[in-house]
Amino acid sequence: MNTPEKIGKYEVLGPLGTGGMGVVLKGWDPAIARGVAIKSINKTLHQKDDLDGLMNRFRQEAQAVGRLVHPSIVQIYDYLEDNHGAYIVMELVNGKTLAHHLAEGDRYDINEVGQIITQLLDGIGYAHAQGVVHRDIKPSNIMINNDGRIKINDFGIAHVESSTLTQVGDILGTPHYMSPEQFLGVNIDGLTDLFAIGVIAYELLTGKRPFTGNAATVMQQVMNVEPSKPSELNVQLSPMMDAVMHQALAKKKEDRYQNARAFSDAFREAIRASLHVEAPVGVPNSNTMMNFSRMLNADSSLTNPGTQDSSQYGNSPITLDSSIKKARLLIVDDDERILTALKSLFRQRYHVFTTTDGNKALEFLRKYQMHVIISDQRMPIMLGVDLLRQSREISPRSVRILLTGYSDLASIVGSINDGEVYRFINKPWDDIALQTLVAEGVTIALELADTTSNPIGLPDKMEAGVMVIDQDEEIYRVARELIGGKCPVIYAADSDTALELLTKHEIAVILADVESGHAKLTSLLKLLKQENPQILTIVVTKAADSELVIDLINQAQVFRILSKPLSVGLLKGQLHAALQRYLTYKQTPALTKMLRVDPPTITHGTVGARIMESLKTLRGKWFGAN
């Protein structure tokens, strides 16, 4: 089959390379004017028996990755098939594979390895949460974008929770990165991916693979031999890294890190420890706040000792006056020009701290409360998504704002799902709009600073329920099974029915397919958040329209965004989390201030006016006055 000029609606621009199953083409989507990569299989080149298995794996990849929306995973946009071939249309990554970089002799310092591995673990941890196991993690399946971001690729032998495509006894993978259970052909799970990432981490840190030789020799070593300690091969590494790698490469699954987050947290600490070892004698350990005249550029002189760091650098201690009511802003961006512009914009009204390093920002947050955190998304040291996710855990009362271009939909979705971002600001920003937004965030953060709330467990039965808005009832049936009688689950086929039911039932969570009754439904969700901010919304979408998603986040403050096809396990977890959050808001109503939206940003129109009229009758009916 010659290279076609078009595949479906996509224009073919030429070959990009050869993938694990066939040729990868560079394409163009004229509908939304973006480049794409098209992975293809030529059916005419394969015997029927081979083709059946190949096609099953190809479709498996499309189904597995089609549900994944994450900044560290190559996103799939479309799947096409005809008599000549099958095609997966995916995100075009402008960069090379990690294998390509290593083959060219590129080497990475300890900090860079930390960023590669933690991004990799973040992406694979997300995939595992969706029920997808990659099973062939290796450098050739890891893309490094030109801006330094990691993209996991080629889920061709991935396993999905509901799939029976591969059975016990199948041996799949690439020998140097395979786990003991893969060699044994026994049932494998996400711990296999973590083992492979451990192998890659070892290789990047030491310049050598932990297991070498032909396939038989590698298998024998993986099963029986402990590799050399990393610190023996790279003297800059801390002994802490030896312990982390030992656990990551443990022969028995139960001895390894049991999830990506645990591995990532331990790896970060070992990287930090190694960087401290790397520092010359006499330089203070950065665990004790790393001289902030270099680490964070403070625009304010905080000299009245309300809170004082015990460690001293030079002649001056770091001090923070807890009695000062002036709000504190932490701004993270890898572009010094951006930091200079934002400091100039806010220095008269707030204490402003800036840094180009996400890790240093997190260290700062562990010691000092920040009212508002503003982060860029695309940074080489740490992505904004990851920074805001971790900052939410460290400082949950801080208001988080993301600076971003709207083109990176995966980052947008990841930010709201993992970082619970308050608002998105597009670059270049409008100074007045940004000042207004930050002032609003500061007001909320100051009001919430002294608010306390204890985590609330879900009761066996609660009165407030879940409303599912979906034309074909499929999501409703799934949600009803997942809730299992814990609370009422109510079905509405359209916005009008939803409005009517809202006046009759206390609703804690709305689960809405935004492709059902698109315009009117999105208007309802925005206006509902304006009038009843305590109701949490989980949006289900194919996630193809970034402007719609941004609009819903900024104006409807959606709680989570789930992509189709839905992962049942993820949906259950998010429904339970939303119900728990509703009960927390009920216990501490002040927390709903984080969810308020600005009425002037919503265009009412005739439809909106009718919706508002109905919603006004709900104000305070179930939850109390807002």
Q: CB under 8 Å to 236, separation ≥6 — which residues?
A: 110, 274, 277, 278
Whose tokens are 């996991």? That residue is 152
DSSP labels, 36-64: EEEEEEEGGGS-HHHHHHHHHHHHHHHHH
Which CATH entry fits the domain spanning 465-616: 1.10.1050.10, 3.60.15.10, 3.40.50.2300, 3.40.50.300?
3.40.50.2300
Q: Is residue 127 within 8 Å of residue 150, measured between CB atoms?
A: no
Whose tokens are 């709305």? That residue is 510
The token pair at 7 is 């595949």
What's the average model confidence in pLDDT over 247-262?
A: 94
3-class SS of residue 261: helix
Q: Could you check whether 95-278 and 465-616 share the same CATH topology?
A: no
pLDDT per position as a tens digit, 526-570: 888 777 788 888 888 775 555 666 677 767 778 888 877 777 877
Asked if 136 is an active-site residue, the reply is yes
CA separation, residue 463 to residues 25, 611, 615 (Å): 54, 24, 20
pLDDT over 90 percentage in the chain = 20
Label each residue of 144-198 as H, E or C. EECCCCEEECCCCCCEECCCCCCCCCCCCCCHHHCCHHHHHCCCCCHHHHHHHHH
Residue-range domain boundaries for the chain:
6-91, 95-278, 287-302+323-448, 465-616
pLDDT per position as a tens digit, 385-439: 788 888 888 888 888 888 876 555 666 666 666 557 777 777 778 788 788 788 8
What's the average model confidence in pLDDT over 59-77?
A: 79
Catalytic residue among 78, 122, 136, 418: 136
pLDDT of residue 518: 64
Question: Predicted confidence band at 373 (pLDDT cuts at 50, 70, 90)?
Answer: very high
Among candidates 406, 411, 333, which has minimal Cα distance to 72? 411
pLDDT per position as a tens digit, 288-313: 233 333 344 444 333 232 333 333 33
What's the average model confidence in pLDDT over 187-212?
A: 93
Largest CA distance in the chain: 79
Rounded Cα distance, 33 and 14, in Å: 17
CATH 3.40.50.2300 given to domain 287-302+323-448? yes
Question: 6-91: which CATH architecture?
Answer: 2-Layer Sandwich (3.30)
Q: Is residue 372 within 8 Å of residue 438, measured between CB atoms?
A: yes
pLDDT of residue 621: 57
Q: Where are the beta strands (DSSP E) in 172-279?
A: none
At 434, the amino acid letter reads L
CATH T-level assignment (fold) for domain 95-278 = Transferase(Phosphotransferase); domain 1 (1.10.510)
